[in-house]
Chain A
Amino acid sequence: MNGKAHRSGKGSAAAAWKVVSLTVLALLGVRSLTVAALPVAAVPVVDESAVRFCFVDLYVDSGSQTLAAWQVELVATAEAGEVKIVGIEGGEHPAYRQPAYYDPAALTHHRVILAAFCTGTDLPTGKTRVARVHLQVPADAQPHYEVKLEAAADRDGQRIDVTVHATQGEPS
Chain B
Amino acid sequence: MTSRTIRRWIVGSLIALFAGAIIIGCCTPALSRARRSSIQVAETMISSGSPSYESGVHEVADGSLPSRDEELWVIQRAEHETDTDQADTPGSGVLKAKLAEEREIPLPLKHTDVQAAILGYIGTVDVTQQYHNPYESKIEAVYVFPLPHNAAVREFVMTIGERRIRGIIRERAEAEEIYRQARSQGYAASLMTQERPNIFTQSVANIEPGKAIDIHIRYFHTLAYDDGWYEFVFPMVVGPRFNPPGSTDGVGAVSRGGRGASGQSTEVQYLKPGERSGHDISLTATIDAGVAIEELRCTTHAVAVAQQEVPERAEVTLSQLDAIPNRDFVLRYKVTGGRVKSSMMTAQTERGGYFTLMLFPPDSLRQLQRMPLELVFVLDCSGSMSGEPIAQAKTAIERALKHMRPDDSFQIIRFSNDASQLGPQPITATPENVRKGLAYLRSLEGMGGTMMIEGIKAALDFEHDSRRLRFVCFLTDGYIGNDAEILGEVHKRIGASRIFSFGVGTSTNRYLLDHMAKIGRGAVAYLDLKDSATEVMDRFFERISHPAMTDLEIDWAGMKASDVYPARSPDLFVGRPVILTGRCNGALPPVVRVRGRIGDGVQTLEVPVSGSDAAATALPAVWARMKIADLCDRATHQRDGDLPGQIRTVALEYGLMSAYTAFIAVDSTTRTAGDYGTTVHVPVPVPEGVRYETTVQE
Q: Which of B1-45 contact A (CB under 8 A)?
A: 2-3, 5-10, 13-14, 16-21, 25
Q: Is the CB of A172 within 8 A of B10?
A: no
Which residues of B are found within 8 Å of A155, using beta-carbon distances?
Answer: 2, 6
Q: Which of A90-114 contact B (CB under 8 A)?
A: 90, 97-105, 107, 113-114
B199 to chain A, nearest CB (A): 18
As a 0/1 sequence over residues 127 to 157 of chain A, the CB contacts with chain B under 8 angstroms (1 = contact) are 0000010111000000000000001010111
In the complex, A33→B21 CA distance in Å?
48
Which residues of B are found within 8 Å of A103, using beta-carbon distances?
Answer: 16-17
Q: Is the CB of A41 within 8 A of B681?
A: yes
Q: Does B87 make an interface contact (CB < 8 A)?
A: yes
Q: Does B655 make an interface contact (CB < 8 A)?
A: yes
Which residues of A are found within 8 Å of B187, using beta-carbon distances?
Answer: 53, 171
In the complex, A103→B142 CA distance in Å?
29
Q: Is the CB of B2 within 8 A of A117?
A: no
Among A2-10, A12-20, A21-29, A80-88, the one that faces the other chain is: A80-88
Q: Is the CB of A44 within 8 A of B180?
A: yes
Count CB-based A-B contacts (< 8 Å).
184
Q: Does B351 make an interface contact (CB < 8 A)?
A: yes
Given A101-B17, A117-B18, A86:B2 Cβ within 8 A: no
In the complex, A172→B10 CA distance in Å?
37
Which residues of A are found within 8 Å of B185, using beta-carbon distances?
Answer: 48, 52-53
Q: Which of A20-74 contact B (CB under 8 A)?
A: 33-35, 37-41, 43-44, 46, 48, 50-55, 68-69, 71
The interface centre, meaning the residue of A46, A50, A89 with most chain B CB atoms within 10 A of its CB, is: A89
Q: Is the CB of B671 within 8 A of A69?
A: no
The interface centre, meaning the residue of B257, B655, B664, B669 with most chain A CB atoms within 10 A of its CB, is: B669
Which residues of B are found within 8 Å of A54, using beta-carbon distances?
Answer: 668
Q: Is the CB of B168 within 8 A of A71?
A: no
- How many residues of A are in contact with the other chain, CB < 8 A? 58
- How many residues of B are in contact with the other chain, CB < 8 A? 72
Which residues of A are found within 8 Å of B135, using beta-carbon distances?
Answer: 38
In the complex, A53→B5 CA distance in Å?
40
In the complex, A169→B669 CA distance in Å?
8
Which residues of A are found within 8 Å of B139, using beta-carbon distances?
Answer: 38
The interface centre, meaning the residue of A55, A103, A172 with most chain B CB atoms within 10 A of its CB, is: A103
Q: Does B157 make an interface contact (CB < 8 A)?
A: yes
Contact of A87 among B17, B668, B676 (CB under 8 A): B668
Q: Is the CB of B669 within 8 A of A71?
A: no
B163 to chain A, nearest CB (A): 6
Given A88-B166, A102-B166, A107-B168, A69:B5 Cβ within 8 A: no
Q: Which of B636-669 contact A (CB under 8 A)?
A: 652-655, 664-669
By Cβ-Cβ distance, the 7 closest A-B pairs, closest first, are A104-B655, A157-B9, A41-B679, A157-B5, A53-B668, A99-B166, A115-B17
Give the interface of A toward B (CB within 8 A): 33-35, 37-41, 43-44, 46, 48, 50-55, 68-69, 71, 84-90, 97-105, 107, 113-117, 119, 132, 134-136, 151, 153, 155-159, 169, 171-172
10 A-B pairs whose Cβ atoms sit less than 8 Å apart in the complex = A37-B90, A39-B680, A41-B681, A43-B183, A48-B184, A53-B182, A71-B13, A87-B665, A117-B21, A134-B666
